[in-house]
Structure 1
Amino acid sequence: MTHRDTIERLIAQFGDQAAEAFLRAVDDIKNRVTLRVVVEKLERGDIPGAVEAIGLDPVAFERLESVLAEAYAAGGQAEVNNLPILRDPEGARVIFRFGTRNTIGEQELRQQSSELVTRIVEDQREAIRAALSDGLSEGRNPRSTALDVVGRVSRQTNRREGGVIGLTAPQERFVASARAELASGDPEALRHYLTRTRRDKRFDATVKKAIEAGKPVPADVATRIVGRYSDRLLELRGEIIARTETTGVLNKGREDAILQQVREGKVAAQAVKKGWRNARDRRVRDSHVVLHGQTVGLNESFISPATGAPIRYPGDPRAPASERVGCRCFLQMEVDYLASTVRRFRAEAA
């Protein structure tokens, strides 16, 4: 297995864990809601109170933060494991290790994770406020409005499904417009619903029947359709968060692992180059197609040809969202061991 294969395996492994942690956190929030309290707040027109009653607690996402910390450590360990066997002038083997305790990298990672959870929670607050406001302004009863937000209990799983908790504000707008299309009875609007990529196609026949009849989709069926659409958008949200953040922390861990060896005098900083490698398929951003194959120094950043933004590594949280969200690129560390070790160590022949 090549080093790139190892990193891609780690991204997939921790990406799956991060997505699961996000979805479990959302599920936990949904299923701890006291619906009665939310409905009572809405009956009084107290939308801020209803939002607070839902209980969007950042602590619910602690497991997600833990997964990202584990991915950071795994990325760094994989990088030091990839370093060659070196020996000092007396013949003793040079030991490369990656420590994550009380380092600048660990502190930055904690701050990034905290900011991620804050963004997730604030996204949800905005989405929930919009959904509750729409429900009241459209005259829907408070209980129905609350259920549209927190989801309805499935008879099969006894867990809440659907709703908008966990979605971004734009995703909540997608759900609201899908609901409006199904309830419209307008053939053009119903046809537009059928263009939605994340819809559950098992309901397409029902929607087509409504188009032919020029009538709305029956309310109970529309509720199920919108719930499935919402769940699939939530899965997408989890996938994007997982891929983006896992790529970032793994590459950060790898860069920090080399920086740690530099600080300990085991590798010379000037002997290290960072290379940008992309996934080489049609989904790669145009700017990252241009960056493929470029190299910079260990303490330098790549420069995006699209935005002019400096990017330390693929998934860099300091880079604009347009450069990092869903990025699948790969950081290749290139070390000139002859230049790095001639004064202190010698490389052991493979």
Structure 2
Amino acid sequence: MARTRVQRQVYADLLERYGRQVADAFMRAVADLRAGAELQRVIAAMEAGDIEGALDALHIEPEAFNEIADRIRDAHEAGGKASVEGMPKRGPDGTALSVRFDGRNPEAERWLSRHSSDLITRLTEEQRQIVRERLAEAMRQGQNPRVAALEIIGRINRVTGKREGGVLGLSAPQEAYVSGAREQLASDDPAALRAYLTRTRRDKRFDRSVAKAIREGKAPDAAIAAKALTAYERRLLQLRGETIGRVEAMSSLQQAKFEAFRQAVASGKVAENTVTKVWRSASDLRVRHTHRSLNGDSARLNEPFRSPSGALLRFPMDTSLGAGTDEIVNCRCDCDYRIDFLANIR
């Protein structure tokens, strides 16, 4: 049990480290997209009513997210090595058990390639679609092209010289949150402004100005509203990065754990029927009910866990057997693996 507790802490430390590295890679990708956007081309295309031309001038391309794939590979490699280091050091006959993790194994490479490709494609297509819809809406409203472009790529911070704010990098729901906050901050309706003050990710440093506008029955000062919106966008983007970081680090580490034991079995050094895995939930009120039910369930290495929803998962975060996002998003579960050499002599 002591070894299991140590391994869980090792996993938690790896999750923290690589979750941050993936999140940082995502933030750098967004900063690179902002820096590479051709503002004047975007404006000219919008003036000509050319949405696709404006989109092309933003250069939202898969290559921008390649570093994320590199960090996912790093997490997978570290998780696999940590898993083999946690295996017993001696076999059933007392001889040394030497198992190494091969991150270049064809199965490991296949998962990394498919997973990273799917993620980068999803991020790229999502960003292009969000921007396309935002451009179309700006044109329908007759919005100033320059203002519309800056609402997408952000404005230059005079202190850092870098762009910040804007909807680039946000998810579709987050872009909708920004749109709603923009309307609220431009309104003189007290109810709309009070609604803005309920937004969890707002920067509370601007609350006093909003409260003053409510008392006076007018819209907040435009400059202050713009700063408040930029801060809101910045916080939403940070949340998006942290969420992607945690999900991708968890997916990589859980896959690596399974892969490490699969490789140990494939090498002939560990018999498959000696390996058991146990589902461990985070054991708090935030755990989804299906995973609360799975807590403590055990299965053989290649047997799936069956969620009460009917979904099959080889381990937490596994989607290879068709589990949907309702079983994956915000999952914090873990999986313990055990080798029982006595299984073959009972």
The answer to whether the superposition gives a TM-score over 0.5 is: yes
Contact 1:248 1:313 (8 Å CA) reproduced: no
Give 1:16 deviation, angstroms.
0.6
Give 1:232 deviation, angstroms.
0.8
Q: Structure 1 residues 55-64 or 100-109, which shifts more?
A: 100-109
Give matches, 1:118-267, under 5 Å.
118-267=121-270
Contact 2:92 2:342 (8 Å CA) reproduced: no
TM-score normalised by structure 1 residue count: 0.93
Residue 45 of structure 1 corresponds to 49
Do structure 1's residue 309 and structure 2's residue 311 form an aligned pair?
yes
Give 1:296 deviation, angstroms.
1.4
Do structure 1's residue 61 and structure 2's residue 65 form an aligned pair?
yes
| Structure 2 CA distance for aligned equivalents of residues 88 and 329 of structure 1 | 30
Contact 1:123 1:167 (8 Å CA) reproduced: no
Residue 331 of structure 2 corresponds to 327
Q: Structure 1 residues 254-263 or 49-58, which shifts more?
A: 49-58
Deviations, residues 144-170 of structure 1 (Å, cap 9, x unaligned): 000000000001111000001111111
Number of residue-to-residue matches in the alignment: 340
Give 1:129 deviation, angstroms.
1.6
| Structure 1 CA distance for aligned equivalents of residues 107 and 91 of structure 2 | 28
Runs of 4 or more consecutive aligned structure 1 residues displaced over 3 Å after TM superposition:
none
Deviations, residues 24-80 of structure 1 (Å, cap 9, x unaligned): 110111011111011111111111211121011211111110111111111111111
Identity of aligned residues (%): 44
| Structure 2 CA distance for aligned equivalents of residues 2 and 92 of structure 1 | 24
Residue 13 of structure 1 corresponds to 17
| Structure 2 CA distance for aligned equivalents of residues 107 and 83 of structure 1 | 24
Do structure 1's residue 73 and structure 2's residue 77 form an aligned pair?
yes
Q: Structure 1 residues 290-299 or 218-227, which shifts more?
A: 218-227
| Structure 1 CA distance for aligned equivalents of residues 183 and 333 of structure 2 | 38
| Structure 2 CA distance for aligned equivalents of residues 304 and 202 of structure 1 | 44
Contact 1:248 1:317 (8 Å CA) reproduced: no
The runs of 5 or more residues in structure 2 that have no matched partner are none
Paired letter, 1:111: R
Give 1:88 deviation, angstroms.
7.8
SS in 2 for 1:334: strand
Contact 2:91 2:341 (8 Å CA) reproduced: no
| Structure 2 CA distance for aligned equivalents of residues 22 and 216 of structure 1 | 35
SS in 1 for 2:299: strand
Paired letter, 2:312: P
Contact 1:19 1:239 (8 Å CA) reproduced: yes
| Structure 1 CA distance for aligned equivalents of residues 319 and 36 of structure 2 | 32
TM-score normalised by structure 2 residue count: 0.94
Paired letter, 1:303: R
Do structure 1's residue 336 and structure 2's residue 340 form an aligned pair?
yes
Give 1:108 deviation, angstroms.
1.5
Paired letter, 2:238: E
| Structure 1 CA distance for aligned equivalents of residues 91 and 299 of structure 2 | 27
Contact 2:281 2:332 (8 Å CA) reproduced: yes
| Structure 1 CA distance for aligned equivalents of residues 191 and 335 of structure 2 | 47
| Structure 1 CA distance for aligned equivalents of residues 25 and 271 of structure 2 | 39
Contact 2:92 2:341 (8 Å CA) reproduced: no
Paired letter, 1:36: Q
Deviations, residues 276-305 of structure 1 (Å, cap 9, x unaligned): 112222222222111111111111111221
Residue among 282, 285, 295 paired with 1:282: 285
Give 1:92 deviation, angstroms.
4.8
| Structure 2 CA distance for aligned equivalents of residues 328 and 92 of structure 1 | 37
Do structure 1's residue 99 and structure 2's residue 130 form an aligned pair?
no
Paired letter, 2:90: L
| Structure 2 CA distance for aligned equivalents of residues 5 and 184 of structure 1 | 50
